[in-house]
Amino acid sequence: MVGFPSILEGIKDLKKGHILQLLERAEDLKSGSPARLPLQKSLAVATSFLEHSTRTKHSFAMAIKRLQGFHIDFQAENSSLKKGESLEQTLLTLHYQGIDICIIRTKQSHLLDEFKEHPPIKIINGGDGSNQHPTQALLDLYTLSEQFGGVESLKGKTVAIVGDCRHSRVTHSLMDLLPQFGINVILSGPKEFIPQNIEDETNKFQVSNDIDETIKMSDALYLLRIQSERHTKGFEDTLTSYKDSWGIDFEKLRKNEKSLPIYHPGPANIGVEVSQEIVDSEIWMAHEQVRNSVYMRMAIIEAMITNEDQKIGSIYNKVPGDICAGNSRLNTK
């Protein structure tokens, strides 16, 4: 896809036209359309996950396989990074070894910022700290569009993101993505779980600290797990009471006379933010999100590999002949 970014850190790196093309391409791929990759070389993709992952890591692996590409699981703990090599030099090494794209997950937010001006390799953010998870948000938008009859039908719908919004990188990506398509977003949860200093001059976001109010206002619920690993001590009381106050079950839905599709990026803490009965029902959309994750990530890889960016690699990259011509010690003429 011409003009598609070579460093996909967050949703704001994409133009709306890119997003619409990704939605269309994911649907084509799900329908059995063949890959559109350059014929002159095989696709090679490395994944480097510095945090645990099941859904993201393995859906990327499946996407690469379905694109008939070659996948390397790069283990940072066994690499030259442990010898003091910079991340940039490691990524350059992967590039010159023939890797086309590196998919990175890290605990550090904004790790990819430094590479945007001079990409050492094409990179897809698989989730960075509490910052962004763009591929998850894109597959969520695709799943929502399927559920509601197309992306145009989402205009005016209300999606409530319920739970640990402050620490959720998926939430931050959805906040950047959903309003572009006219979707109203509610951030809902205990006060300590709501992002601070939300700047919203366009009224794209509402905040609700009442689950009944949230359910009544919503067309879909997007549930989050409590991210214990990102909290400091002192939130245990909230965790203990969360199930009764905020956990979604059929009793809460019936009380508010609503039947809503329930989304979740996973992994779900069943019995905390959602009941087993909901997970076993037809309104649970998380399995469809997982199914669609492969097609959306196929579309993203394909878009990046065909973006026609010729400025990948070292900023000092020259062909050997040019180097020799400019260096008298190497010039053999």
**Residues 126 and 145 reside in one and the same domain:** no
pLDDT category at 330 given cuts 50, 70, 90 is very low
Q: What is the pLDDT of residues 7-44, one digit of tens each?
A: 999 999 999 999 999 999 999 999 999 988 876 678 99
State the pLDDT confidence band at 333, using cuts at 50, 70 and 90: very low
Q: Are residues 126 and 173 in the same domain?
A: no
User: What does DSSP assign to residue 178?
Assistant: G
232 residue type, one letter: T
Residue range 299-309: mean pLDDT, rounded: 96
Contact between residue 36 and residue 302 where contact means Cβ atoms under 8 Å apart: yes
Nearest to 285 by CA among 300, 298, 266: 266
Range of the domain at 200: 134-288
Model pTM score: 0.91
CATH number at residue 177: 3.40.50.1370
Residues 118 and 163 in one domain: no
Q: Residue ranges of the alpha helices (H) in 15-159?
A: 16-30, 55-66, 87-96, 134-148
Residue-wise pLDDT tens digits, 165-194: 998 999 999 999 999 999 999 999 998 899
Tell me the average pLDDT across 210-219: 97
Residue 297 lies in a domain: yes
* Structural domains in the chain (count): 2
Encoded amino acid at 240, one letter: T
Are 126 and 237 in the same domain? no
pLDDT band at 232 (very low <50, low <70, confident <90, very high): low
Q: What is the pLDDT of residue 112?
A: 94
User: What confidence category does residue 213 fall into, taking pLDDT thresholds of 50, 70 and 90?
Assistant: very high
Q: Is pLDDT at 257 greater than 60 in this prediction? A: yes
- State whether 187 and 270 are in the same domain: yes
Beta bridge partner(s), residue 101: 45, 122
Closest to 116 (Cα-Cα) out of 315, 316, 302, 303:
315
Q: How many other CB atoms are there within 10 angstroms of residue 116's CB atom?
A: 13
Q: What is the pLDDT of residue 201?
A: 47
Indicate if 79 and 125 belong to the same structural domain: yes
- 107 and 228 inside one domain: no
Q: Give the separation between CA 180 and CA 239, rounded to whole angstroms.
A: 33
Average pLDDT over residues 267-273: 93
Position 102 pLDDT exceeds 90: yes
* C-alpha 262, offset from chain centre: 19
Is 333 a member of any domain?
Answer: no
Cα–Cα distance measured from residue 153 to residue 146, given in angstroms and rounded to the nearest whole number? 10
Residues 6+ apart with CB under 8 A from 269: 225, 226
Q: Which helix (H) or strand (E) holds 236?
A: helix 236-246
Torsion sign (Cα): 21, 147, 155, 136? negative
* DSSP count for the chain of H helices, then E strands: 11, 10
Give the mean model confidence (pLDDT) for residues 105-115: 93
pLDDT at residue 241, as a whole number: 83
For residue 258, tell me if it sits in a domain.
yes
pLDDT exceeds cutoff 90 at 52: no
Residue 111: closest CA among 100, 125, 122, 101: 125
Q: Are 239 and 146 part of one and the same domain?
A: yes
| DSSP character string of 254-275 | HHTT----EE--S---BTTTB-
Q: Is the pLDDT of residue 332 over 50?
A: no
Which tens digits make up the pLDDT trace of 133-145? 999 999 999 999 9
Asked if 190 and 258 sit in the same domain, the reply is yes
pLDDT digits (tens, 9 = 90+) for 311-327: 999 875 655 555 445 45
Whether residue 73 is predicted with pLDDT greater than 80 in this model: the reply is yes
Position of tokens 């133009």?
A: 15
Q: Same structural domain for residues 52 and 157? A: no
Is 182 part of a structural domain of the chain? yes
